Copies of this chain bind each other. A is one copy, B any other.
Amino acid sequence: MDIKQFVYEKALRAKEASRRLMNVSTEKKNSCLLTMAELIKKEKDLLIKENKKDVETANLKGLSSALIDRLTLNEKRINEICAGLMEVAQLPDPVFEITKMWRRPNGMLVGRMRTPIGLIGIIYEARPNVTVDATSLCLKSGNAVILRGGSEAINSNRALVNIMRKALNDNGIPEDAVTFIDIPEREAVMEMLKLSDLIDLIIPRGGEGLIRTVAENSRIPVLKHYKGVCHVFVDREADLRTAEEICFNAKVQRPGTCNAMETMLVDEAIAERFLPVMLKRFEDAGVELKGCEKTRKIYPSVKPVKEEDYFNEYLALILNVRVVKDIDEAMEHIARYGSKHSDAIVTENYEKAMRFLREVDSSAVFVNASTRLNDGYQFGLGAEIGISTDKLHARGPMGLEELTCTKFIVLGSGQLRQ
> Which residue numbers of A lie inside 8 Å of B, CB to CB?
19, 22-23, 96, 102, 104, 108, 110, 113, 115, 117-118, 200-201, 216, 219, 221, 223, 239, 242, 245-246, 249, 253-254, 335, 353, 357-359, 361-370, 372-375, 378-380, 390-393, 395-397, 405-417
Contact present for B357 and A113 (CB under 8 Å): yes
CA distance A104 to B216 in the complex (A): 38
Residues of B within 8 A of A110 (CB): 379-380
Contact present for B417 and A367 (CB under 8 Å): no
Contact present for B104 and A370 (CB under 8 Å): no
Q: State the copy count for this chain.
A: 2
Contact present for B358 and A416 (CB under 8 Å): no
Residues of B within 8 A of A417 (CB): 249, 253-254, 370, 372-373, 375, 378
**Chain A interface SS verdict (over half):** mixed
CA distance A395 to B414 in the complex (A): 24
Residues of B within 8 A of A379 (CB): 104, 110, 408
CA distance A416 to B369 in the complex (A): 6
Contact present for A373 and B253 (CB under 8 Å): no
- Given that A392-B201, A414-B246 are contacting pairs, would A115 and B361 also be in contact in the complex, using a CB cutoff of 8 Å? yes
CA distance A373 to B219 in the complex (A): 32
Contact present for B117 and A391 (CB under 8 Å): yes
Output the nearest chain B residue to A257 by Cβ-Cβ distance: B417
Output the nearest chain B residue to A411 by Cβ-Cβ distance: B367
CA distance A219 to B335 in the complex (A): 23
Q: Smallest Cβ distance from A259 to chain B, in angstroms?
A: 8
CA distance A234 to B142 in the complex (A): 29
CA distance A366 to B111 in the complex (A): 11
Q: Smallest Cβ distance from A191 to chain B, in angstroms?
A: 17
CA distance A367 to B412 in the complex (A): 6
CA distance A370 to B416 in the complex (A): 5
Output the nearest chain B residue to A223 by Cβ-Cβ distance: B392
Q: Smallest Cβ distance from A310 to chain B, in angstroms?
A: 18
Output the nearest chain B residue to A200 by Cβ-Cβ distance: B391
CA distance A185 to B200 in the complex (A): 33
CA distance A202 to B417 in the complex (A): 30
Contact present for A249 and B391 (CB under 8 Å): no
